[in-house]
Amino acid sequence: MIIAREPCLNFNHGRPSPPVRYCPSCGEVVNNSHTAEAMCSQEKHAKHRRNRNKYCTDCGKQLVKLQ
């Protein structure tokens, strides 16, 4: 049985101007008007991980390994 990839349901996709550049669930750019962070601190990424974000909302980096 093949399980289809579910569409991203993150609330940022439905917003006219999301407060973040990257979606924390799928890593897609949701707001181009935010400039990408060149380099995030480890602390920032650790905080995102604690918030269960799969991707960093500032630089788009994948924070958790895909199973």
Residues 29-58 that bind Zn ion (CB under 5 A): 40, 56, 58
**Closer residue to Zn ion, CB minimum distance, 20 or 40:** 40
21 touching Zn ion, by CB under 5 A: no
- DSSP secondary structure letter of residue 10: -
CA distance 44 to 29: 19
Q: Which of 6, 21, 26, 36 binds Zn ion (CB under 5 A)?
A: 26
Looking up tokens 């006219």, which residue turns up? 16
Q: In angstroms, how far apart are the furthest CA atoms of the chain?
A: 41
10 touching Zn ion, by CB under 5 A: yes
